[in-house]
Amino acid sequence: MSPNPKPPTAAELRARCSRGGVAIAPSLLAADFARLEQEIRAIEKAGATLLHLDIMDGHFVPNLSFGVPVVEAIRRTTDLLLDVHLMLDNPANYVEPFRKAGADVLTVHAEVLDDPRPVLDQIRALGAAAGLSLNPPLAVERIEPFLEACDLILVMSVMPGFGGQSFQPVALEKLAWLRDHSDCHAVLEVDGGVNAQTIGPCAAAGAEWLVAGTAVFGADDYGPRLADLSQSAQASVAGAQASG
């Protein structure tokens, strides 16, 4: 990897990963960690275009997941876009190691940054796309001053830390607000409780990348599950566009 490649724009992220306006982002947290390489091969074969990787510090969220060496090993295993979600109190300390490990998108949390612009700029300077995330309790207006510094915005529809939680509909209002905001050109992503029932409303509200852990890795066959989720999301986008 060259030291400072140009970071991908939101349009380039869409061109690389979205199909029919959407992409399913399988969350590796729900994979079988004892069979990680086989799980990644299976998800590639199923047609995924990206992988969502949750990095937890046990402080910002009450759980631990995996760190830089595991991301580096995943990078050696796949060419899929690596969408790395930093659930960390001090993301500025970690963006460089995760970028060096192969992250393509690095997302930090608005809750831990009074002004996220320096770290978003740092991510872009490292050649990755810059993402900003907000948890369900944070008002979306809080990130309004930073919209133009973001290549991706990750709207959490659960409190982060664990897979398998129920979708919180407050995410839908935030997605629609972001979709309709003239300063927002970022890819809109939603994460938590996304499944066959909730994916349609998310896509209709503007979510383009839909993170799904349990709904993907809980399936017997990932190919049909990814296709079904993607089809539901695309149908909702088409329906929302047709109704104006």
Ligand X SMILES: O=C(CO)[C@@H](O)[C@H](O)COP(=O)(O)O
Between 128 and 194, whose beta carbon lies closer to ligand X?
194
> Does residue 161 belong to the site contacting ligand X (CB under 6 A)?
yes
Rounded least distance, CB 195 to ligand X, Å: 7
> Does residue 191 belong to the site contacting ligand X (CB under 6 A)?
yes
Rounded least distance, CB 146 to ligand X, Å: 21
- Out of 213, 230, 232, 233, name the contact with ligand X by CB under 6 A: 213
From CA 10, how far away is CA 16, in angstroms rounded?
Answer: 10
Catalytic residue among 121, 183, 191, 228: 191
Active site residue 104: no
Between 105 and 144, whose beta carbon lies closer to ligand X?
105
| Strand order across the 129-134 sheet | 23-26, 209-212, 187-191, 152-156, 129-134, 105-109, 81-87, 50-56
> Does residue 211 belong to the site contacting ligand X (CB under 6 A)?
yes
Q: Can you name the residues that pair with 190 across neighbouring β-strands?
A: 155, 210
Residue with tokens 């990348």: 209
Site for ligand X in 69-108 (CB under 6 A): none
Between 91 and 193, whose beta carbon lies closer to ligand X?
193
* Pattern 19-38, ligand X, x by CB under 6 A: --------x-xx--------
Kindly state the DSSP code that residue 134 receives in the 8-state scheme.
Answer: E
Cβ proximity of 77 and 176 under 8 Å: no
Rounded least distance, CB 54 to ligand X, Å: 5
- Out of 102, 193, 200, 206, name the contact with ligand X by CB under 6 A: 193
Residue 101 CA to its chain's centroid (Å): 17
Active site residue 180: no
User: What are the residues whose beta carbons fall under 8 Å from the beta carbon of 217, sequence distance 6 or more?
Assistant: 26, 27, 30, 31, 32, 39
Catalytic residue among 32, 54, 104, 221: 54
Rounded least distance, CB 183 to ligand X, Å: 26
List the structure tokens of 55: 């990095």
From CA 23, how far away is CA 2, in angstroms rounded?
Answer: 27
Four-residue CA torsion sign, 31, 35, 37, 38: negative
Size of the site for ligand X (CB under 6 A): 21
Cβ proximity of 142 and 117 under 8 Å: no
Q: Which residues bind ligand X (CB under 6 A)?
A: 27, 29-30, 52, 54, 158, 160-165, 191-194, 211-215
**Residue numbers belonging to the annotated binding site for substrate:** 27, 85, 161-164, 191-193, 213-214
